[in-house]
Structure 1
Amino acid sequence: MPQISNPSTLPIFCSLTYQRFLFCSLQSKCISSSSSPVPSQQHIAHLILDQKSVSQALQTFKWASKLPNFTHSQSTYRALIHKLCTFRRFDIVKELLQEMPNAIGSPPDEDIFITIVRGLGRARMVKRVIKVVDLVTQFGKKPSLRIFNSVLDVLVKEDIDLAREFYRKKMMGSGVEGDEYTFGILMKGLCLTNRIGMGKLGEQGA
């Protein structure tokens, strides 16, 4: 788990967070009155997303990991990674990805990689967006069509030529066939650059 700055603030913060969780639990009636309140993974994910800073998001995540009978999941990691991407803390994101297989028994899922792609896209880190495809393979997985399309959607907004090259070399080179959404993304990029005459992408290999 990445180091949390100013850990002395954790007890007070955790107390407030737990009160918020109890209120939400009572309102939604997710937890029966006869059992001790244990937050769901969805509750924790929402709490993480509600935080206003990197340190608070990390504190919430660490606090939850110490609750009895609670274990983190893809959804809670995804919430934390989304928050870190918002603040461009991609260094901590990398640490979280590496710890996931041991922490929860499975590597990052497709939605987490798409979250990273979109976060890098918002930060306009185009070269790093492309490298997410290679990052997926480091976990013994083959990038899905959804991941390729997410990368492509970022690239067309920045550089249509780079997007077309990515489609040819990365997507087609990996044996991944595009769908209607893929070609819609590429057409959007051509329209943005007034190059709609090159629109028969599927027939011309983009």
Structure 2
Amino acid sequence: MFFAHKYSYLVPPSRSLRRRIHKRFKSASKPVLNEAQFQRAVSQLPPRFIAEELCNVITLQVDPLVCLELFKWASQQPRFKHDVSTYHVIIKKLGTAKMYQEMDEVVNQALSVPLIGSEALYNTMIYFFTEDRKLTKAVNVYKHMKNSKNLDCRPSIRTYNLLFSAFLSRGSNSYINHVYMETIRCLFKQMVNDGVEPDIFSLNFMIKGYVLSLHVNDALRIFHQMGVVYKCLPNSYSYDYLIHGLCAQGRTKNAMNLCNEMKGKGFVPSKKSYNSLVNSLALAGEVDEAVNLLWEMTQNQRSADFITYQTVLDEISRQQRYGNAVKLLKELREKELVDSHTYRKLLHKLEGSLRD
């Protein structure tokens, strides 16, 4: 019995105990209202203040707790009613302070009032819910906008772009991206059907989403519809997403064609695009083209990563051109494109591949 008691501290706490400890710690660390600051804020309001005056006072407050207390206090005053401006300012204050639980309560209150609402207010709710990674709540606000009888409260292009961005940021692998991409595709279709014109951001979100979910042909379809169906010309991001996606599928020739088209329009490929292309060319055995592109990217102030250098050097060596690989590596060092540590590491790998 003594033995069990002596070593009982080695047993990890249960999940319920951990939750209670966390709850107590959170409660103990909760900020306390600055009563003096709150009273000063109240004193700035006239006896029969209106929503605009309350909004102005809340806007000037730095402490979000004081803002929330002002909002609650005003709710209890006779003949006073909150409007869009007061709901908007308090949600911004709480969201910026990451007081999401308190913000959620205010949002629920605002959504329950039939005549309170605006596109800007709802977009702010969606933005902070996505910041808190509460996608379900963000979608619920979107549905509230969709069902609103007030046409000024209907989803805008900003509403959709906020949701597209949030869903795309959730994917950590191609399967998860595939699941979320189906939701994004439905949202995009709904947006177009409702007469909301896609902009460059929404179209690039679609391209990026299809690339991440390994549906590159669908991404190309959207790309070719830009400027024709949607009257919105591709920008450098449109090309970059596609180049990376095509290279990932080994479609190097298509990627190079897009890269040349991109450069012909005055865009400079991103670091990611260049690295993808150089790697793809080297892996396809086209080392001379890979080296030429490597020099081009350095001239355009785009740095190659370690994997790219290693892939090019390994492929040159594999083609029985070990001397050329060493010469290229020395040239990279002389031009200070690789530091001494990276140089030694790449040289060691080259020598290792020669022994193998």
Q: Same fold (TM over 0.5)?
A: yes
Quote the residue 1:111 is aligned against.
120
Report Cα offsets for 1:48-82 as digits up to 9, x if no partner: 23333332121111222244432211211111111
The 5-angstrom pairing of residues 25-174 of structure 1 reads 37-100=47-110, 104-106=113-115, 108-123=117-132, 125=133, 128-129=134-135, 131-137=137-143, 141=147, 144-146=155-157, 147-155=159-167, 165-173=182-190
For residue 199 of structure 1, give the secondary structure of its aligned residue in structure 2: helix
Q: State the Cα distance separating 1:180 from its structure 2 match.
A: 4.1
CA separation of 1:165/1:46 partners in 2, compared to 1, >3 Å: closer, same or farther?
Answer: farther
CA separation of 1:98/1:116 partners in 2, compared to 1, >3 Å: closer, same or farther?
Answer: closer
2:26 equivalent to 1:16: no
Quote the residue 2:344 is aligned against.
none
Mean alpha-carbon deviation: is it higher for 78-87 or for 128-137? 128-137
- Distance (whole Å) between structure 1 residues aligned to residue 225 and residue 58 of structure 2: 42
Q: State the Cα distance separating 1:200 from its structure 2 match.
A: 3.0
- Distance (whole Å) between structure 1 residues aligned to residue 168 and residue 140 of structure 2: 19
Contact 1:100/1:106, CA 8 A, preserved across alignment: no
- Distance (whole Å) between structure 1 residues aligned to residue 78 and residue 137 of structure 2: 38
For residue 40 of structure 2, give the secondary structure of its aligned residue in structure 1: helix
TM-score by length of 2: 0.39
Report Cα offsets for 1:128-174 as digits up to 9, x if no partner: 34652234435882652342233235556776x67864441123157
TM-score by length of 1: 0.61
**Count of residue correspondences:** 179
Q: State the Cα distance separating 1:21 from its structure 2 match.
A: 4.1
- Distance (whole Å) between structure 2 residues aligned to residue 6 and residue 87 of structure 1: 14
Task: In structure 1, list runs of 5 or more residues that go unmatched.
Answer: 23-36
Q: State the Cα distance separating 1:115 from its structure 2 match.
A: 0.4
CA separation of 1:100/1:189 partners in 2, compared to 1, >3 Å: closer, same or farther?
Answer: closer
Task: In structure 2, list runs of 5 or more residues that go unmatched.
Answer: 1-30, 149-153, 172-176, 231-356
Higher relative contact order (CA 8 A, sep 6+): 1
Q: Percent identity?
A: 16
Contact 1:49/1:79, CA 8 A, preserved across alignment: yes
CA separation of 1:178/1:137 partners in 2, compared to 1, >3 Å: closer, same or farther?
Answer: closer
**CA RMSD, aligned part only?**
4.1
CA separation of 1:94/1:107 partners in 2, compared to 1, >3 Å: closer, same or farther?
Answer: farther
Contact 1:58/1:80, CA 8 A, preserved across alignment: yes
For residue 137 of structure 1, give the secondary structure of its aligned residue in structure 2: helix
Q: State the Cα distance separating 1:100 from its structure 2 match.
A: 3.1
2:224 equivalent to 1:200: yes
